[in-house]
Each structure stands twice: as C-alpha cells, then as structure tokens.
C-alpha cells in the first residue's frame, strides 16, 4: 500500500486579501481505489451543518491530464476561432447565453446553495441574497437593457469636418479571461462573465480552487447550459492559472489580493493586455453619536458578520468613533449580536465558517498578538475543528499592530477611538485607499466633508455594502484596492472597445486643407478651428477681397 501526500501551497485570496493557503490531501493508494478523508456534511431539515468527524469513501482514481502550456494555447485558439467567426457579436447569441444563465440559476438553485455550504458553510438565506439573487438580477438587467446598450452613441461634429456625422460604436474586445475568488465564488465568477457575454466576447473562466465544490459545479453547469465553443471553464490552481496568464488575452478581470494582482498585471503587460483588478483594503466605518444607534449597529453587523462572517472585500474592517461614544456603541453591538446569533454564536446556523485552516490560523495570530489579545471586549471564542471564530470586538488596539495594518478578512472588529470625529479622516487617509468607506451620521456638513476628503472605491452613508447592488453605480477600487469597474452597464462598457466612427460624404470638399498653403488659407483654417463665427466671417471676407 502506497501513501502519497500532496501539499499545495497557494497564494489565492478574497477580494483585496492575500493569505497563504495550504491544502493537504492524503491519498492511500490501493490498486485503482483511493481512500479520501474530508469533513462530513450532515443534511438537516433546515439545511446543512458541519461536523468535525471524517468520512472515508472508496472512490475511483481518475488521473487528470496535465493542463500545460500547449493545452492552454489550444483552448485559447479554439475559443478565439469561435469569436473570430462572428457568432458572439450577434444580439441573438448574447441573449441566448444570458437566458441560459438565467435558466441555469433557476433550475440549479439547490445545487448552488449546497456547493456554497460545502465550501463556506454559507447559510442558505445568505447564499440566496448575496450570490444567487445578484446573478439573477445581473442577467435580468442585461436582457432588459442589452438592445439599448448596443446602439451606437451619436456624437456632435465640428465645422472642420462639415458636413459629417459621428458615433461611438461598442464592439467586443475579443477573448477575455476572468479569474474569480473564493469568498463569493458563484457571484464573483458569473457576474463578470455576464458582462463579457453582454458585450459580445468569448470567455474563459478560472474559478477559485479554494472553493472546490463551487468550482466543480460551475464547470459542470457551464458545460451543460452554455455555448462551449465560446465559453469555457478551467479548474485548477497555480499551475493552471500560470498557464492561462501566459496566453494572449484581450482583457483580464482578476478578483483577489493586491499581491497576486501584481503577478497578473505583470503577465498582462507582456501582451499589452488591459486589466480590471478588483482587490480590497481596510474598509472603515465612521460612527457619529447623533444617529439611530440600533439601526446603525444592525447595518454594521449586516456588513460584517452577516456578510460571509467578515470574509468580504467590502465588509467593515474597523470602526472609528469618539472616546465618549465608544462604550454605548459597544453595548449596542453586543446586544444586537446576541439577538442575531444567540448567546453562543459558535452554534449559530446563520453565520459562515472560516474558509480554511490556514486562514483560521492567520486570524488567530492576529487576535493573539501581544498588546492585542487583552483588547478583546466581546467574543474571541474559537473552534479549530469547525473552523469557526465568534464575532469579536476589540477596543483601541495599537495602531502598529498587524490587525490594524492588514485587511482582516474575518470576524474580528477593532474599534479605534478619537477625540473628535473629524480626526477619523486622518486615520483613514494614513492607510491605503479602501474599496469602500462608510459613515453613520445625521450631520450634513460631516457627510459633505467625508465624501470630499475620503478617497475610496465606493462610499455609503448610513448603511453598509448595499451600494454594490445599486444598478446605476460602478463597482471598483482605487489605488491598492483595484482599478477599473463593472456591474450593470459598467460591465458592458468594461468588456467593450468604444470605437470612434466619423462619416463623411464626397460633398463639401474644401480646398483650404490642401497645398499650396497660402496666407489666406491659413487665416481661414485657423478661424474654422477656433470656432469663432466672427473670425470665420472676417477670414472669408478677406479671402473674397483677394
């Protein structure tokens, strides 16, 4: 009997978070069978729950062919051939694929929910609200607006090109690569794909291997429901991603950490490929005292612990409030957290688990750092077997501690206090620009100052996270939190080339543009370029007098 251990060290992460991810899969090989140990999922009337026991199954070993550079090049060649045929450009093809995604989500909702639970223990309600319904909404909007998005935009022309007309034509870029992440593995895979399809592109999707159940499901569903000549899924980890990045793409959208984003951008630069990078950062929530405290606290909890248990790029990373108001805020947070998740949140079925043992260990390290562990004012419970950490609040941890220097991406919430709320601006601006910034206040002047003085990918006043579900707003970062944006019409634009087109007839051909260049011609041409009607008239008069 032969024992083989595969250790896969990976640096994939959620939006804006970089953490080393180590997987250890132990296979005991016996003839053609393999014994695999993995966490057991027990189905109950209310869904699924995790158990620290292991379940051993005898499964057939299927050696997957290596996904090397040659196979990757062949895949891209096949997809590009489909794009070059022109099929993806048609309105009918785009609509058919969008309707197929809509049908797929409708028919496979249970399977999607189960996969998300296997990967993250994500509650069914949260899975529907934050992932499934968002994909449905993106499809519905694209189907409703696609015909208008595709209409060329008319542009005014100038006297120098008279008579003429002009327009901006949105054309597909070509073959695009979408590299998604694990924290919202269904939504963040399909949402950009919907935009790419709407714009008429062929697409290759690389889901995150850190959410293996969702990755496998996406691969199977895309193969079953969509046009595989133009839309493909490549599963895998670093080797597969490296092979994909070595190819020539017409655009790459990557969701993940700033560290990996630099690798993606460097690979793209070799081919002058444009990129959209959706990253993250330390998203602050500034809390004033003149508010409806219960509503504000509930919304903060919804944007932290009820949002994949803090594992979200736009989730609240830390709170800033005044010294005087902090005790009242903490008391309210404690009360509402108990209302939401019970006296023992470790037993709650309404909160996701930490995605992996390495991510769990990283969060514990942040929590146990010297001069940090004694700052816990609520929570702090942990269970490594179930990969759960309770909602935890810390007060005034040192600014130079790791928990205040890196994106937390978990259920730990530091509260930083200041003398007066305006001092929060300096705290936020001392860090890298976040993907989102939140303010809770009824002070109109403070709202105005916050919008004007804080730079972030997005901003929300008196709530958290819901701005990303607003159809007319772009979603994207700035600086270290990313570049480019998508969602709704912005997704269509992100995967389109805006081609400038000018139409002229053979009439109205002016001799002043051609040699020889006399002083009179130069005078008239300068007047035409200036657009000043008096100068034009004077130039024409001068021309006629000669």
Residue pair 496/484 in contact by the 8 Å Cβ criterion: no
Q: What angle do CA 127, 234, 77 make, to 5 degrees?
A: 140
What's the CATH architecture for 69-279+493-497?
Answer: 3-Layer(aba) Sandwich (3.40)
Q: Kindly state the DSSP code that residue 2 receives in the 8-state scheme.
A: E
For 293, residues 6+ apart whose C-beta sits below 8 A from its C-beta are 328, 329, 332
Give the residues across from 483 on adjacent strands: 277
**Whole-angstrom distance, CA of residue 546 vs CA of residue 542:** 7
Cβ 283 vs Cβ 438: under 8 Å = yes
Token readout for 271 is 């081919």
Give me the DSSP letters along 214-281.
HHHHHHHHHHHHS-TTTEEE---SHHHHHHHHTS--SEEEEES-HHHHHHHHHHHHTTT--EEEE---
Neighbouring residues of 513: CB distance < 8 A, sequence distance ≥ 6? 525
**Ramachandran area for residue 233 (φ above 0: left; ψ -120 to 50: alpha; else beta):** beta
| C-alpha to C-alpha distance for 320 and 434, rounded to whole angstroms | 14
Q: Where are the domains of the chain?
A: 69-279+493-497, 284-476, 520-545
How far is residue 385 from each of residues 54, 389, 455, 488, measured CA to CA in Å? 11, 11, 40, 40
Residues in contact with 86: Cβ distance below 8 Å, sequence separation at least 6, in sequence order: none
What angle separates helix 519-530 from helix 533-545, to the nearest 10 degrees?
160
Query: Cβ atoms within 10 A of the Cβ of 417, count?
Result: 18
Asked if residues 413 and 392 have their Cβ atoms less than 8 Å apart, the reply is: yes
Eight-state DSSP code of residue 161? G
Over the chain (546 residues), what is each successive 10-residue block's mean pLDDT?
Answer: 32 36 32 36 38 34 61 96 98 98 98 98 96 97 98 91 94 98 97 98 98 98 98 95 97 96 97 97 97 98 96 97 98 98 95 95 96 96 96 97 96 98 96 97 97 98 96 96 97 98 90 84 78 73 52
Q: How many helices, marked H, and strands, marked E, lie in the chain? A: 18, 24
Q: Is 278 one of the catalytic residues? A: yes
**What's residue 377's pLDDT?**
97
**5-8: long-range pairs with CB below 8 Å, 24+:** 8/237, 8/238
Mapping DSSP onto H, E and C, the string for 483-512 reads: ECEECCHHHHHHCEEEEEEEEECCCCCCHH
Question: What pLDDT is attached to residue 66?
Answer: 62
In the set 209, 283, 313, 480, the catalytic residue is 313
Q: How far apart are CA 409 and CA 310, in angstroms?
A: 6
DSSP notation for 127-146 = HIIIIIHHHHHHHHHHHHHH
pLDDT for residue 65: 58
Q: Peptide bond before 516: cis, by omega within 30 degrees of 0?
A: yes
Q: Is 313 a catalytic residue?
A: yes
Helix axes 187-198, 212-225, angle to 10 degrees: 30
Question: How far apart (Å, rounded) are the C-alpha atoms in residues 160 and 509?
Answer: 11
- Homologous superfamily of 284-476: Aldehyde Dehydrogenase; Chain A, domain 2 (3.40.309.10)
Say which of 209, 278, 336, 407 is annotated catalytic. Answer: 278
**Would you state the pLDDT for residue 235?**
96
Angle at 351 between CA 370 and CA 285, to 5 degrees: 60
């Amino acid at each position: 009997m032969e024992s083989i251990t595969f250790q896969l060290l990976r640096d994939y992460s959620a939006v804006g978070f970089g953490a080393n991810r180590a997987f250890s899969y132990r296979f005991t090989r016996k003839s053609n069978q393999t014994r695999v140990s993995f966490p057991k999922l027990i189905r109950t009337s209310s869904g699924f729950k995790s158990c620290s026991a292991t379940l051993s199954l005898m499964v057939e070993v299927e050696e997957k062919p290596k996904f090397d550079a040659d196979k990757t090049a062949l895949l891209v060649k096949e997809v590009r051939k489909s794009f070059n045929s022109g099929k993806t450009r048609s309105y009918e093809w785009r609509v058919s694929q969008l309707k197929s995604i809509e049908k797929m989500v409708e028919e496979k909702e249970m399977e999607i929910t189960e996969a998300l639970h296997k990967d993250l223990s994500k509650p069914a309600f949260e899975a529907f609200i934050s992932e499934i319904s968002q994909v449905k909404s993106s499809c519905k909007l694209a189907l409703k607006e696609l015909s208008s998005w595709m209409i060329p935009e008319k542009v005014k022309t100038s006297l120098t090109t008279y008579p003429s007309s002009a327009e901006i034509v949105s054309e597909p870029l070509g073959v695009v690569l979408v590299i998604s992440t694990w924290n919202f593995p269904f939504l963040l895979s399909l949402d950009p794909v919907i935009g790419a399809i709407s714009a008429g592109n062929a697409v290759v999707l690389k889901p995150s291997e850190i959410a293996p159940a969702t990755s496998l499901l996406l691969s199977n569903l895309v193969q079953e429901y969509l046009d595989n000549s133009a839309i493909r899924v490549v599963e895998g980890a670093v080797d597969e991603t490296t092979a994909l990045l070595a190819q020539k793409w017409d655009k790459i959208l990557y969701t993940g950490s700033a560290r990996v984003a630099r690798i993606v951008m460097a690979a793209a630069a070799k081919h002058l490929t444009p990129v959209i990078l959706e990253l993250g950062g330390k998203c602050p929530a500034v809390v004033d005292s003149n508010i409806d405290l219960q509503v504000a606290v509930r919304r903060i909890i919804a944007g932290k612990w009820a949002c994949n248990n803090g594992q979200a790029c736009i989730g609240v990373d830390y709170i800033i409030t005044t010294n005087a108001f902090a005790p009242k805020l903490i008391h309210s947070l404690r009360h509402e957290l108990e209302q939401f998740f019970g006296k023992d949140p470790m037993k709650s079925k309404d909160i996701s688990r930490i995605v992996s043992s390495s991510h769990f260990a990283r969060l514990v390290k942040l929590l146990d750092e010297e001069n940090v562990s004694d700052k816990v004012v609520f929570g702090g419970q942990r269970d490594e077997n179930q990969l759960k950490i309770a909602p935890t609040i810390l007060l005034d941890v040192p600014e130079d501690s790791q928990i205040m220097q890196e994106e937390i991406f978990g259920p730990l919430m530091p509260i930083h206090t200041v003398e007066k709320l305006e001092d929060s601006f300096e705290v936020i601006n001392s860090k890298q620009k976040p993907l989102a910034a939140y303010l809770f206040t009824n002070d109109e002047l403070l709202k105005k100052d916050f919008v004007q003085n804080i730079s972030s990918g997005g901003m929300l006043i008196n709530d958290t996270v819901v701005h990303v579900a607003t159809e007319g707003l772009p979603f994207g970062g700035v600086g270290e939190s990313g570049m480019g944006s998508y969602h709704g019409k912005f997704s269509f634009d992100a995967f389109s080339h805006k081609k400038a087109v000018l139409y002229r007839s053979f009439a109205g051909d002016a001799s002043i543009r051609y040699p020889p260049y006399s002083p009179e011609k130069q005078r008239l041409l300068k007047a035409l370029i200036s657009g000043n009607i008096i100068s034009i008239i004077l130039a024409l008069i001068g021309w006629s007098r000669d």
